[in-house]
C-alpha cells in the first residue's frame, strides 16, 4: 500500500468507529429527555428510574463519542493537508459554527443536567436535557452540511491564484439540498439505534430476570423502544426515497454504482440479491423487482436510469481522462446491507412488542437471542449507509473539484501513516473494550432505586457543593 491507500483506510476506520457512538448519543438524548418529561408530568417513579438508567448509558456513550471525534480533526492536518488547504475556507465554516454554537450548547447543558439533580428547580433541570438534545441535533446538522458540501459543492468560488475554494454564500452551504434530505434520514437512523437499545435492555431483564416482570418500567421501556424503532423506520423509508432522487440528480454515478447498473435502462429493475463477477460487470443470478430502481431514482416506475458506462463517457468529456466509477461491490452490498439490517431491526422490535401484548411476559429464548444482537443491527446499518455515501463519491473528495488522490498530504510517508494508523487502531480497541464493559455493566444492573429529589431549597442550596448525580 502507498500513503494514499493507508490514509484512506485510516480515515475510513476512524470515521466508522466514531459513528458507532454518534447515533446512540443523538437518539438516546431525546429519549432520556422524553422519559424525564414523563416523570415531570406524571410523577410516576418508573419514569425517573428509566431516566436515571438510560441517562447513565447516554453519558458513557457521549464521552466516548467526543474522544473519538477529536481524532478525526487531527487527520485533516496529518494525512489530508492538501485537502485542508483547498477547502478550509468553505469546509471549516459549518464546522466552526458547530463547535462554537451547537457543541457548546450541547456540552454546557449536559454538564448542567449532570450536576443539576437536586440543585436546579425541576423545570429548569428538565429544560437542560432538552437544550442538550437541541444542541446535539444542531451539531449533527452542521457536520452533515460540511459533508454534503463535499458531495454537492455550492456557495463557493475557486481562487485560481491561491489555488483554493473560497466561501461566497454560507446560506447556500447550510441549505444545500443534499444536506436537507440527508438530515432527516440520519436522525431517523439514530432513533432506530436508540429504540433498539431500549428494547434489548428491557427484553434481557424481562426474560432473564422473572422478578423484573413485576416492574412495569421494563414493559414501558420495551414499548417506547419498539414504537420509536417503528416510527423511525417509516421516516427512513420516506426520507431515503427522497434522498435517492436527489442523489440521482447530483451524483448519478453513485446511484448507478449502488445498483451495479452498467447500461442505461428504462425501466430499470432493483436487484434484491445478485451473484456475479467481482467487478459487477457480469451477472450469474439476480433476484429483481421490476421498475423499482426507476421509481427510486426518478419517481416514475418507467423512468430512465443512466448506467455506469454512459456516465463514465460524459464524465470524461467534463473532467478529462480517468476512471470515475467507485468500487462497485462495496457500494452495491453496503446499500443492501443498510436496508436489510435496518428492516431486521424493526421486525425484531415489533416481535418483542407483540410478545408482551395484553400483559403477557416474553419468554421465547429465540427472542432473547435476537434481543442480544438487536443493538448491533442498526449500528451496522448506519455504518453501511456511511460507507455507501463516502465510497460512492470516489474518486472525488470534493465532487467535481478535487480528487481524493490530490487531497493527501504531499510530505507524509508510508511509515508515518502506518504508525499513526496502528496507534489509533490500538487506542480505539482499548476504548471499545471500556465502552462495551461499562454499557453492559450498567445495563445489567437494571433500574436504580431512587427517591424523587426534593425541590431545591434556596437557603440550603447556596452552601451545598456540586456533586454527580450518579
What pLDDT was estimated at residue 455?
55
What pLDDT was estimated at residue 138?
92
What pLDDT was estimated at residue 226?
94
pLDDT band for position 272 (50/70/90)? confident
What pLDDT was estimated at residue 172?
94
CB environment 298-311: b (16+ within 10 A), e (fewer): beeeebebbbbeeb
- Whether 196 has a pLDDT exceeding 90, the answer reads yes
CB environment 203-217: b (16+ within 10 A), e (fewer): bbbbbeeeebbebeb
Instruction: Please tell me what DSSP assigns to residue 449.
Output: P
Which range, 75-89, 379-393, 439-453, is most confident? Answer: 379-393
Q: What mean pLDDT is reported for the chain? A: 88
CA torsion, points 394, 398, 402, 405, in degrees to nearest 10?
A: -40
pLDDT tens column, 222-268? 999 999 999 999 999 999 999 999 999 999 999 999 988 888 988 88
Nearest-angstrom CA–CA distance, 467 and 237:
44
Residue 96 cell numbers, joined:
466552526
> Residue 36: is it exposed, middle or buried by C-beta count within 10 angstroms (0-12/13-18/19+)?
buried
Nearest-angstrom CA–CA distance, 460 and 470:
21
pLDDT tens column, 285-308? 778 888 898 998 898 999 999 999
User: Who's near 155: CB < 8 A, 6+ residues apart?
Assistant: 90, 149, 167, 168, 169, 170, 171, 172, 173, 176
pLDDT tens column, 351-373? 999 998 887 888 888 888 898 89
What pLDDT was estimated at residue 465?
52
Q: How many CB atoms lie within 10 A of CB 95?
A: 18
Nearest-angstrom CA–CA distance, 422 and 6:
10
Report the length, in residues, of the chain.
470
- Whether 213 has a pLDDT exceeding 90, the answer reads no
Nearest-angstrom CA–CA distance, 57 and 65:
12
pLDDT tens column, 310-330? 999 999 999 999 999 999 889
Q: What secondary structure does DSSP assign to 247-314, as a single string? A: HHHH-HHHHHHHHT--S-BSS--EEEEEEE-TTSSSEEEEEEETTHHHHHHHS-TT--B--HHHHHHH
pLDDT tens column, 124-161? 999 999 999 999 999 999 999 999 999 999 999 998 88
Average pLDDT over residues 407-421: 87
User: Who's near 417: CB < 8 A, 6+ residues apart?
Assistant: 3, 6, 7, 10, 79
Amino acid at each position: 500500500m502507498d500513503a494514499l491507500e493507508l490514509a484512506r483506510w485510516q480515515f475510513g476506520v476512524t470515521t466508522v468507529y466514531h459513528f458507532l457512538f454518534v447515533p446512540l448519543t443523538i437518539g438516546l438524548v431525546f429519549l432520556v429527555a422524553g422519559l424525564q418529561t414523563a416523570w415531570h408530568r406524571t410523577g410516576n417513579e418508573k419514569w425517573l428510574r428509566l431516566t436515571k438508567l438510560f441517562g447513565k448509558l447516554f453519558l458513557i456513550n457521549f464521552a466516548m463519542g467526543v474522544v473519538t471525534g477529536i481524532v478525526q480533526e487531527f487527520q485533516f492536518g496529518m494525512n489530508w493537508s492538501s485537502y485542508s488547504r483547498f477547502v478550509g475556507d468553505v469546509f471549516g465554516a459549518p464546522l466552526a459554527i458547530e463547535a462554537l454554537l451547537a457543541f457548546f450548547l450541547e456540552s454546557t447543558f449536559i454538564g448542567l443536567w449532570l450536576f443539576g439533580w437536586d440543585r436546579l428547580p425541576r423545570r429548569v433541570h428538565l429544560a437542560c436535557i432538552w437544550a442538550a438534545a437541541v444542541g446535539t441535533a444542531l451539531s449533527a446538522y452542521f457536520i452533515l452540511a460540511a459533508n454534503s458540501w463535499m458531495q454537492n459543492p455550492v456557495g463557493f468560488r475557486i481562487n485560481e491564484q491561491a489555488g483554493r475554494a473560497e466561501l461566497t454564500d454560507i446560506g447556500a452551504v447550510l441549505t444545500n439540498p443534499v444536506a436537507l434530505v440527508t438530515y432527516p434520514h440520519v436522525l431517523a437512523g439514530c432513533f432506530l439505534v436508540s429504540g433498539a437499545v431500549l428494547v434489548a435492555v428491557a427484553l434481557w431483564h424481562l426474560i432473564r430476570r422473572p422478578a423484573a416482570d413485576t416492574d412495569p418500567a421494563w414493559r414501558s421501556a420495551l414499548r417506547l423502544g419498539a414504537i420509536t424503532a417503528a416510527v423511525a423506520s417509516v421516516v427512513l423509508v420516506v426520507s431515503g426515497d427522497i434522498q435517492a432522487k436527489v442523489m440521482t440528480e447530483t451524483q448519478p454515478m453513485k446511484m448507478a454504482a449502488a445498483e451495479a447498473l452498467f447500461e442505461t435502462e428504462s425501466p430499470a429493475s432493483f436487484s434484491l440479491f445478485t451473484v456475479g463477477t467481482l467487478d459487477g460487470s457480469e451477472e450469474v443470478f439476480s433476484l429483481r423487482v421490476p421498475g423499482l430502481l426507476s421509481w427510486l431514482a426518478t419517481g416514475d416506475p418507467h423512468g430512465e436510469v443512466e448506467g455506469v458506462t454512459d456516465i463514465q463517457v460524459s464524465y470524461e468529456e467534463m473532467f478529462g481522462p480517468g476512471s470515475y466509477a467507485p468500487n462497485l461491490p462495496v457500494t452495491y452490498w453496503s446499500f443492501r446491507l443498510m436496508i436489510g439490517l435496518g428492516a431486521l431491526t424493526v421486525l425484531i422490535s415489533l416481535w418483542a412488542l407483540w410478545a408482551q401484548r395484553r400483559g403477557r411476559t416474553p419468554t421465547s429464548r429465540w427472542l432473547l437471542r435476537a434481543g442480544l444482537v438487536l443493538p448491533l443491527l442498526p449500528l451496522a446499518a448506519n455504518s453501511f449507509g456511511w460507507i455507501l455515501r463516502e465510497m460512492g463519491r470516489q474518486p472525488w473528495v470534493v465532487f467535481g473539484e478535487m480528487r481524493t488522490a490530490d487531497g493527501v498530504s504531499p510530505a507524509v510517508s508510508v511509515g508515518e501513516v502506518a504508525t499513526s494508523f496502528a496507534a489509533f487502531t490500538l487506542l480505539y480497541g482499548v476504548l471499545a473494550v471500556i465502552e462495551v464493559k461499562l454499557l453492559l455493566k450498567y445495563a445489567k444492573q437494571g433500574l436504580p432505586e431512587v427517591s424523587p429529589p426534593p425541590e431545591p431549597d434556596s437557603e440550603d442550596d447556596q452552601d451545598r457543593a456540586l456533586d454527580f448525580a450518579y
